[in-house]
Amino acid sequence: MSQPDLPQAPDNEPGRWQKFKEIPAWGVSLGLHSLIFVFFACWTLPIVRESLAELVVSEVEEIQEPEFKFDVAATDQVGNGGTGDTLSPSLAVAGAVGASPQVETSKRLQEELVKVNLTPTATIGDVAADTLSKTVEVRGGTDNLSGDFGGQGTGGGSGGTAGTIDRLTFEIMASLKEKKTLVVWLMDESTSMKKRRDAVAERFENIYKQLGLLDVETKNGILKSAIVSFGKDFHFISKDATDDVDQLVKLVKENIPNDESGKENVFTAVEAAVKKYRDYRSREHRNCIMVIVTDERGDDFDKLDQCIQATAAAGFKVFCVGNAAPFGQEKGYVQWTYEDGGTEELPVDQGPETVAPEHVNLPFWGVSGGDLVRMTAGLGPYALTRLCAETQGVYLIAEDTGRGVRFDPAVMRNYLPDYRPIKFYTKDLTANRAKTVLVDAARKTLGQRTPTPEVVFRADTDAALRTELTDAQKPLAVLDYKLNEIVTLLEQGEKDRSKIKEPRWQAAFDTAYGRALAMRVRSFGYNMMLAQMKANPKTFDKKEDNTWELIASDEISTGVQVKKMAAKAQESLERVVNQHQGTPWAKLAERELSKPMGWSWKPFHKDYAAIERAMAQAKQGPVFADEDEKKKAEAKKKMVEQRKKPNL
């Protein structure tokens, strides 16, 4: 079948290609550019949408208040010999590549907080003894290097300064495995720190040796160090960073001055050191570590926030080799040795471990509590610990003066202080009346000595008994006034107590309220017992007895209201013991409950004639065998009298 004839274009009609060729040049250009524009618009649209989504999310996140989660992380424990060969959880994450200062600064501007792995408390003695093995998502922490959590008394435990340096060796090692590293040593110029500075200097060479054994390159400028010291002022001891170990040792031992002002402006010194050495991070692409060696908390506390901002923005990780903070107290004690060989414990500012005092300082009455007065929870002072926390470092406890009172780190994991920025702490504080009044009550007793009334009374004559009873009632008026003030204050927060969710705040409030109530009950009973004895003196059943002693008794005979107060105190303290076992608050509550709150009289005999002879001889002075012995004793007495107490 033949195909149908298709219509043909006339010979004089132009084809389609001919029509396209006749399009003006500007039209072709316009069409081509339109196609290119559409192509790039389609390509970049997903990116624009993603950026807009991130922008919206970023703005929403900035409006919302960040959440803070607290848990505990453990590190490995390395003894004085530094023979450990495993890394802590904090070291395990130390290999992550650090961002540049510009990126880190931008991130801090966009986020209120960042979560980091933290070591709040562990020990460096026996590796197997470390029971902390989880991560803490707080910014900072404490590593207890003096034995168990809470320390092993004044001696500083098995780790001490040498142990902390071994611990730091592993942090430096982790840093060097990533990139070149700068370590800035910030040394306290206080006279009390001379031995610790020397101990650190002697370990410098050991650090390099250990790193060499671990196949970490430290030569050719890979690891550089600088020395800065601080007291009232700060001094750059090394002109610049160096890898000359011998020079570092010499500088620490010979060039650091002794500051006798008693001031430690540590945060000012940190800022100055960061400003001087921060270029090493950007210019030489180094990791930067700062190690603070001190035995106090620092006096320029008001510089903390700006110091944290500057240090974190510059990319410095801060570690501190220091002392444990006394539990709920500002003052700790350092044993000082005088030139004549005599020793004395002198008070220094070492605490508390919280931003505001949260522990109501009350004495023990009729109960031995001296071992609990200076106990520690195995934590560093708040400001230095938080500086370490916010820069992903660790506060290393080289000495714990807890007098043998120790706490299990696995238990204390749930009782860490609040290391959030102070504005969040303050907001949380003002939102709960129980927390507010607890801090107010703690402030009223911070550093104060509350009188403990006498419980033994001479009664060989009626006149002697009445005189001693009258004298004993005088300090009771002061004590009762203070107790009434504290109880009245804490009662205002009783309704909000049930709203407290944090175990630390629960234990602190219940302990303070229970102990204050218990002491108030004892005060009422004590006053009544003394008044009754003055009005109608009791007689002795045995003729040889001549002294009365007030002892604890289950019988409370001071009225219904006082009995109700005693029941409330008992309930509060037992709740602490049952719900917060193994904590400092449980120790305090147990000790308070170890004696009943009532009183009864117990007679006994005392040889007052022998006591009076001893007192008379003491006034006359000691009897010497010869003149030389007398001269030596007088010279020693004169030397003691001329001792000048240092400003620590």
pLDDT at 563 over 70: yes
Is 616 inside a domain boundary? no
Q: Same domain for 446 and 585?
A: yes
Is 41 inside a domain boundary? no
Helix (H) or strand (E) holding 231, with range, is none
Query: What local confidence, expressed as pLDDT, does residue 182 receive?
Result: 95
Q: Same domain for 472 and 560?
A: yes
Q: Same domain for 148 and 250?
A: yes
pLDDT at 188 over 90: yes
Q: Same domain for 478 and 339?
A: no
**What phi and psi values does residue 457 have, to the nearest 5 degrees?**
-130, 130
pLDDT digit string (tens) for 636-645? 777 776 677 7
Q: Same domain for 493 and 552?
A: yes
Domain hosting 95: range is: 89-357+375-398
Is 428 inside a domain boundary? no
Is 231 inside a domain boundary? yes
Residue with tokens 């807890």: 402
- 157 confidence band (pLDDT: 50, 70, 90): very low
pLDDT at 333 over 90: no
Euclidean distance between CA atoms 363 and 482, whole angstroms: 12
Q: Same domain for 392 and 541?
A: no
Is 208 inside a domain boundary? yes
Q: How many domains does the chain have?
A: 2
pTM metric for this prediction: 0.74
Is 34 inside a domain boundary? no
User: Which of the residue ranges 214-218, 238-242, 321-325, 451-455 would you say has the lowest mean pLDDT?
Assistant: 214-218
**What phi and psi values does residue 426 have, to the nearest 5 degrees?**
-65, -40
Is 140 inside a domain boundary? yes
Q: Same domain for 250 and 316?
A: yes
pLDDT at 24 over 80: no
Instruction: Give 122's contacts (C-beta < 8 A, 6+ positions apart).
Output: 74, 75, 77, 130, 132, 143, 144, 149, 409
Q: Same domain for 160 and 220?
A: yes
Euclidean distance between CA atoms 550 and 457, whole angstroms: 9
Euclidean distance between CA atoms 49 and 54, whole angstroms: 9
User: Nearest to residue 381, comparing CAs of 321, 323, 318, 448?
Assistant: 323
Euclidean distance between CA atoms 96 and 68, whole angstroms: 23
Max mean pLDDT range (120-134, 150-164, 444-458) = 444-458
Average pLDDT on 430-443 reads 96
Residue % of the chain over a pLDDT of 70: 71
CB atoms within 10 A of CB 17: 8
Euclidean distance between CA atoms 556 and 568, whole angstroms: 14
Q: Same domain for 148 and 198?
A: yes
> For the domain that residue 195 is a member of, what is the CATH number?
3.40.50.410
pLDDT digit string (tens) for 244-292? 888 888 898 889 998 888 899 999 999 999 999 999 998 999 999 999 9
Cis, bond preceding 352 (omega within 30 deg of 0): yes
Average pLDDT on 557-577 reads 93
pLDDT digit string (tens) for 88-102? 333 333 333 344 444
Query: What local confidence, expressed as pLDDT, does residue 268 receive?
Result: 96
| Chain centroid, CA 478 distance in Å | 33
| Chain centroid, CA 556 distance in Å | 41
Q: Same domain for 337 and 453?
A: no
Burial of 451 per CB tally in 10 Å (0-12, 13-18, 19+): middle
Q: Same domain for 392 and 500?
A: no
- 167 confidence band (pLDDT: 50, 70, 90): confident
Q: How far is CA 529 from CA 182, 469, 472, in A?
A: 69, 10, 12
Is 444 inside a domain boundary? yes
